[in-house]
Amino acid sequence: MIGPVDSSQVPRYAGPATFARLPRLDQVAHADVAVVGVPFDTGVSYRPGARFAPSAVREASRLLRPYHPGLDVSPFERIQVADGGDIAVNPFHIGEAIETIEGAAADLQRDGTRLVTIGGDHTIALPLLRAVARIHGPVALLHFDAHLDTWDTYFGEPYTHGTPFRRAVEDGILDTEAISHVGTRGPLYGKKDLEDDRRLGFGIVTSSDVMRRGVDETVDALRQRIGSRPLYVSIDIDVLDPAHAPGTGTPEAGGMTSRELLEILRGLRGLNLVGADVVEVAPAYDHADITSVAASHVAYDLVSLLSLKEGQ
């Protein structure tokens, strides 16, 4: 097992900025988990800039250490984790980009490697889910986000960062008995948005629900809905309140704290997690790297959960 560079020997600010200072994918014989970037934000409807997130989150991840006390695990000792670099896609053609991402993700997972992907905007979740479904069939989904992302089109376009999960349901790649939004809030275009979302099969845990019910009750409800199904977790960083994640394209007031998000993720321990993404970090709007740091910790928790899946 090749682990991260020892920060007691080489300062964190020195050396290549791979995720958590881990080896590159081409430096290991096989990776159980690969952390991969998708620098793509052509699907955004408001502020662009998420194409710069993979490099910013990697830079912030220099601060991570190899032992996770919240989950009592040293993930890089249990499994081989590597940085898989970036999937380079056409920034001028969304359809081609989606095909490229799906093909690259499928290739990376061909030998059993699972992915934690750093976007990019939320458009990338659709091809990532398609690649996962090739292996597992329809999967359960936990979608952490301020927004539903189940709209039909934007400006007549069916593939944007606001439409991936409607397309995923239409594709038949989600197990609609076990799909949920967590952390949604803010104004909608109309009540029909919620009616359409419910018709697609989604359950909703709003950010207000998390605040009123607390983390433990929220986790219990989510675990009951998911059961033993293969689970994909998709996290838009704007699920966090702008106080905790200002660097994002479509911020909404009244969001979850970074502590709440991390604790809910830790409550998923033991579930059949098969892949995950963290998206919509926009470094240009990120004050003092707050959002990139939060995203790096979210990705670290996801890797740690995947490491526990090997032997619980």
Give phi and psi for 289, each to the nearest 5: 60, 25
Coil, strand or helix: which one is 259?
helix
Give phi and psi for 41, each to the nearest 5: -140, 30
pLDDT of 288 higher than 90: yes
**What would the pLDDT profile of 72-130 be if each residue is shown by its tens digit?**
999 999 999 999 999 999 999 999 999 999 999 999 999 999 999 999 999 999 999 99
Mean pLDDT of 132-161: 97
Q: What is the pLDDT of residue 312?
A: 45
With a CB cutoff of 8 Å and minimum separation 6, the contacts of 186 are: 146, 147, 252, 253, 254
In the predicted model, what is the mean pLDDT of the chain?
Answer: 97
Q: Is 289 annotated among the ligand-binding residues?
A: no
Alpha-carbon distance 239 to 219, whole Å? 16
Q: Is 147 annotated among the ligand-binding residues?
A: yes
pLDDT of 311 higher than 70: no
Alpha-carbon distance 35 to 152, whole Å? 30
**What would the pLDDT profile of 11-27 be if each residue is shown by its tens digit?**
999 999 999 999 999 99
**What would the pLDDT profile of 158-176 be if each residue is shown by its tens digit?**
999 999 999 999 999 999 9
For the chain, helix (H) and strand (E) counts, in that order, are 10, 8
Contact 119, 40 (CB under 8 A): yes
Q: What is the pLDDT of residue 309?
A: 74
Closest listed residue to residue 171, CA positions, set 144, 131, 143: 131
pLDDT of 262 higher than 70: yes
Alpha-carbon distance 301 to 55, whole Å? 19
Query: What is the sign of the dihedral through the CA atoms of 231, 236, 241 and 247?
Result: positive
Contact 223, 267 (CB under 8 A): yes
For the chain, first and last CA: distance in Å? 19
Which DSSP string corresponds to 141-181? EEEE-SS----S-BTTBS-STTSHHHHHHHHT-EEEEEEEE
Q: Is 236 annotated among the ligand-binding residues?
A: yes
Q: Is 301 annotated among the ligand-binding residues?
A: no
> Which structural domains are found in the chain, ordered by start?
19-309 (3.40.800.10)
Instruction: Tell me the residue ranges of DSSP E strands in the chain.
Output: 33-38, 81-86, 114-119, 139-144, 174-184, 203-206, 230-236, 272-279
